[in-house]
Amino acid sequence: MTAPVAIDPAFENVWDELVWRGLIHVSTDQEALRALLGGDPITYYCGFDPTAPSLHLGNLVQLLTLRRIQLAGHKPLGLVGGSTGLIGDPRPTAERTLNTPETVAEWVGRLRAQVERYLSFDGDNAARIVNNLDWTAPMSAIDFLREIGKHYRVGTMLKKDAVAARLNSDAGISYTEFSYQILQGMDFLELYRQYGCVLQTGGSDQWGNLTSGTDLIRRVEGTSAHAIGTPLITNSDGTKFGKSEGNAIWLDAEMCSPYRMYQFWLSTADADVIERLKVFTFLTKTEIEEYAVLVESEPFRRAAQKRLALEVVATVHGSDATAAVIAASEALFGQGDLTALDASTLRSALDELPHAMVEAGSPVVDALVATGLVTSLSEARRAIKQGGVSLDGVKIEDEAAVVTGTLPGGVSVLRRGKKTLAGVFLS
């Protein structure tokens, strides 16, 4: 059973909950923000650029932050950057490859659908999805320079961290990427004018772009707006969070299977798991403190990691997919019925294991070698004689046994010993 999607009643003000969860790395005036979030409903926003066909775990921090603030009664705007996605914010070391307008438009649709999953569109504080191409496309270059560009000072723009890093690199920076902070600032101004939006959230690495908007609103409208920069999530050992064997953990199930995501969270280090529970789940302060005790007293049970994996995969992919991956995980390691598994979930699970394609009816000894569970046929025969090999949960006792692909989807699972597994796909 997963935690209800709700703010923690232990906190009188959602600002205090955000602080406790470690979600405030940098911000504008903290006292003003606390008063703002503890008062009447405000409109706030976060932007997502379609520079890929899916959002990833770094974006999930923002999506859940948007939802937490909405649960406190405020009105979220989810911005999908149809115009800024055509440019892309500056990378630290090199110019972005610009995608075609057709590709960006397709990705806008995909990201919009993902953002919508995390917000509520009902009630007095119903969410809205907006696209900055709607107000950027009709504007001429001359209008942009006269109405927006005149409010920016090049000296200030050059001091922004992302720009400064690129200026000091061999690649330099193009005017295209240099102008990104102006476009994001214009977004905030436009949302302030259209919806009365007074707060923007984003990653702390976007702080220069976030304050571009607050500065522009102050100059043009003569009023204050606010920004919150969430911390960049890193592992306790200093490695980059959200990567698994060099690949991003995407929110799209076709780009990262629910099983793979589940295993990613299960592998969270003890030193990181409590902070991950704070950021990525709706568990209460009391519940998370109980898991902190378990991490200290019974780390071998990995109770916190199992709950973290359950909560996040259910949030991203739904309860049915989560139940399927838990069943697959347990069955693969001898705690469930392999034949009862969902075929697509089993296939995605085997994709994460060593695996090989073999012909139907191939000897098990050949499959053991093909999957890398042994290095030679003689080692395969010896492993079978020692009783250490099973196929689809059944011990293999005959060296002449063949692979049949009897599991859902026409696949097989080879096991050597207790914990060494491989997938076998039949050609």
pLDDT tens digits, one per residue of 85-107: 998 777 777 777 889 999 999 99
Cα torsion at 143, 147, 148, 153 (round to 10°)?
A: 120
State whether CATH 3.40.50.620 applies to domain 14-232: yes
Give the pLDDT band (50/70/90) at residue 246. Answer: low
Query: How many Å from the N-terminal Cα to the C-terminal Cα in the chain?
Result: 39
**Paired strand residues for 75:** 43
- Rounded to whole angstroms, the Cα distance separating 199 from 80 reads 16
Which is nearest to 46 in space by CA: 184, 233, 250? 184
| Residues contacting residue 350 through CB under 8 Å, at least 6 positions apart | 411, 413, 423, 425
Average pLDDT, the chain: 93
Provide the token pair at 320: 């049915």
| Residues contacting residue 256 through CB under 8 Å, at least 6 positions apart | 247, 248, 249, 250
**Paired strand residues for 356:** 424
pLDDT tens digits, one per residue of 105-125: 999 999 999 999 999 999 999
204: buried, middle or exposed (CB in 10 Å: 19+, 13-18, 0-12)? middle
pLDDT tens digits, one per residue of 279-330: 999 999 999 999 999 999 999 999 999 999 999 999 999 999 999 999 998 8
CATH class assigned to 234-337: mainly alpha
Q: Where are the domains of the chain?
A: 14-232, 234-337, 353-427
Looking at the chain, the whole-number percentage of residues with pLDDT higher than 70 is 99
pLDDT tens digits, one per residue of 28-53: 999 999 999 999 999 999 999 999 99
Where do runs of H (alpha helix) occur along 76-136? 101-116, 133-136
Looking at the chain, the whole-number percentage of residues with pLDDT higher than 90 is 76
DSSP letter for each residue of 304-359: HHHHHHHHHHHHHH-HHHHHHHHHHHHHHTTSS-GGGS-HHHHHHHHHTS-EEEE-
Query: Are 14-232 and 234-337 the same fold in CATH?
Result: no
Residue 199, pLDDT score: 98
**pTM of the shown model:** 0.91
State whether CATH 3.10.290.10 applies to domain 353-427: yes
Give the pLDDT band (50/70/90) at residue 146. Answer: very high
Provide the token pair at 215: 């500065």
Residue 13, pLDDT score: 98
Q: Is the pLDDT of residue 245 over 70?
A: no
